[in-house]
Structure 1
């Protein structure tokens, strides 16, 4: 028996969750249940896997287990970017090997397409999915150099890009803070918590979703038995779509890094405040420096600021940390929007990323009758959707080039033992944030 030694515990103030449609969560499981297929994790990966399994095996029942409420966890805490283009920060042109980059592009586009089609099919209007593109913006010389290199890499892939100078950029995003931005039109923007709520409420009829149901231990064998506080779930096959919590189920131990990043969301801007900044009514900015600030202007005229990082080895939120990062968010916000200094934040929260030292994810068989799509490395919206779908197709005998690419890809590297791991990761995070300069 493997005892699950860390259960999800996120802070109580995720802005996307509280500003999206309130729904009646599915009841937790009381007692025992069984199914040929059990999926762990009600985020983008788990929802995609459960949906596709149900479509591939319409006569089978699929159980989907979520430890919290759908939309409350990691999938509802990101910045809401569905990014298509690859972004390899270890390569001089941020693209690297072109064959690999093209596969990543196709994988991301696959995830985008699945989500777009589901939003249309099930009329998930409150997800506010829009084909807005994204601006990657820079203020310092090193950031400008990144944009120039990345532009060359994307053009070599045949991707459309546009370099926008600072004097024009304010008309796009309502701030003259940045010197330059690289605009890529293929990105979609969403309200992420509303999207996953809508995906959960539109699952096929042969999917049973249990929310607020934590798995405390697992017996592996020909039949997998998952223990929860009031009973057991017996599975023919188990699929893990729970990102860095897969480590606590006995897999990829010491190979994933639960890195938390933090966001703050303002109250809605008044008409006068909107007029004071101008720009388009809906946009998203990511930083040229990976430790810089991400910004969004939302469908309801709020501003999102996302920056600051922490290493949380058990994958759970740190008490009181949102109070600390709110100060950093305030500084970043007022630098960019000096006319909005009186606009308060209504919500500040953290969310976990399943990162690896070499940027590799895991896809495929973990042991007999157990499979996983884990370690999304910050692209869980599109990568999780694509890999969850492809994994379910593989289990139905449907192989395709992207599946072969994922199976052949490098696996996550081993991490150093503690306490060296925490010392090294925390030093890297502190140094990176300090070097981000004005882009923080």
Structure 2
């Protein structure tokens, strides 16, 4: 019997969640249930896996379990970038091995296409906009990153546009940045709205249980998942829990639950929109990894996302919200001095599952236990496509993308505590300090 010691506990102030369509959560599980397929985690990965299993096995019930409410957890808390391009921060040109980069591009595009088709098919209102993204810089280090990435995109034969600082206000309103690299393939979304819409349009043979945190598991001939009000017995278990996979007994000491934080403003008035100028919606990611992500949403709000914390138990900690909202205000003020009286309506944190070698796990974890874990910050596209492809593989399919994922080495081991926390926290603080004006 494996006791699940760490359960999700996100803060209650996620703007994406509260600003998206309200829905009636599905009932929590109670009693005893048996199913051939059980998927744990109803984020992007778990929703894709459950959907695809249901289509591959139409005569079988797929049980999908979510510890919190759909759209409330990490999948509903990211910055809303469904990114197409590979971005290997360990490579000099951010592309690295060209064959690997081409496969990564195919994976990301497949995830985008899968989501786009579902949004269109089911009429999901999630502010989906195929408007590309800007990667912008203010410091010399950031300018060097843009130049390196441009060379990598040339090698990969991908489209881009370099935009000088004097031209950027026509695009994003602010005069803050010196240069930006625009790539047209990124799709922007309202992440919580998308996750809610995907959950409410699952195939009929998927049974979703929300507010059902699993507290223990028996990995026997049958897999028995227990919680406070019952048990669920599975022939085959799919884990789509990212870093919480460690709490289920797998990849222990191989993932890093790192939180990042965001604030979103109230809606801009018409006068404020005119003062801001630029395009009606856009997204900016920083050239420096530890810099600030910024968005203007289709409903005329401005989002600021920066700052990191290492939370080894994967649970939110309110002290970081109180600390980092001041940094958000400073980042906002430096970029939007023309809008001094626009306050934040929500501030929240959301977890990333990272690994030291930037690799995830795909495939078998134990007899009759499978997982797609550790998205390394690409939960929207990579989480979606790995969930779908895992289900395809379990249905007996093989293709280039599945073979690539199965052959990957997976996350490597972390140092033991207390050296792990000391090293991660020092790295996060140093990275945010080095980001300088881009923070």
TM-score (norm 2): 1.00
1:35 matched residue in structure 2: 35
Deviation >2 Å, runs of 4+: none
Aligned residues: 439
Asked if 1:90 corresponds to 2:85, the answer is no
2:318 matched residue in structure 1: 319
Q: Distance in 2 between matches of 1:217 and 1:418?
A: 25
Asked if 1:148 corresponds to 2:147, the answer is yes
The Cα shift of 1:144 comes to 0.5
Q: Distance in 1 between matches of 2:352 and 2:34?
A: 30
Cα deviation, 1:66-91, whole Å, max 9, x if unaligned, reads 00000000000000000000001111
The Cα shift of 1:170 comes to 0.7
Asked if 1:119 corresponds to 2:119, the answer is yes
Specify the SS of the correspondent of 2:237. Answer: strand
2:2 matched residue in structure 1: 2
1:394 matched residue in structure 2: 393
1:218 matched residue in structure 2: 217
Does the 8 A contact of 2:30 with 2:231 survive in 1? no
Q: Distance in 2 between matches of 1:313 and 1:74?
A: 15
Asked if 1:352 corresponds to 2:351, the answer is yes
Q: Distance in 1 between matches of 2:66 and 2:420?
A: 29
The Cα shift of 1:179 comes to 0.5
TM-score (norm 1): 0.99
Specify the SS of the correspondent of 1:350. Answer: strand
1:200 matched residue in structure 2: 199
Q: Distance in 1 between matches of 2:299 and 2:287?
A: 26
Does the 8 A contact of 2:171 with 2:278 survive in 1? yes
Q: Distance in 2 between matches of 1:39 and 1:79?
A: 25
Mapping 1:424-439, distance limit 5 Å: 424-439=423-438
Specify the SS of the correspondent of 2:214. Answer: coil
1:330 matched residue in structure 2: 329
1:171 matched residue in structure 2: 170
Q: Distance in 1 between matches of 2:101 and 2:220?
A: 38
2:64 matched residue in structure 1: 64
The Cα shift of 1:159 comes to 0.4
2:50 matched residue in structure 1: 50
RMSD: 0.5
Q: Distance in 1 between matches of 2:95 and 2:12?
A: 38
Q: Distance in 2 between matches of 1:31 and 1:323?
A: 40
Q: Distance in 1 between matches of 2:49 and 2:291?
A: 33
The Cα shift of 1:411 comes to 1.3
Cα deviation, 1:210-259, whole Å, max 9, x if unaligned, reads 00000000000221000010110000100000100000000000000000
Gaps of 5+ in 1: none
1:412 matched residue in structure 2: 411
Cα deviation, 1:148-198, whole Å, max 9, x if unaligned, reads 110110111110011001111110001010000000000000000000000
Q: Distance in 1 between matches of 2:407 and 2:168?
A: 41
Q: Distance in 1 between matches of 2:90 and 2:216?
A: 38
Q: Distance in 2 between matches of 1:427 and 1:72?
A: 30
Gaps of 5+ in 2: none
The Cα shift of 1:30 comes to 1.4
The Cα shift of 1:114 comes to 0.3
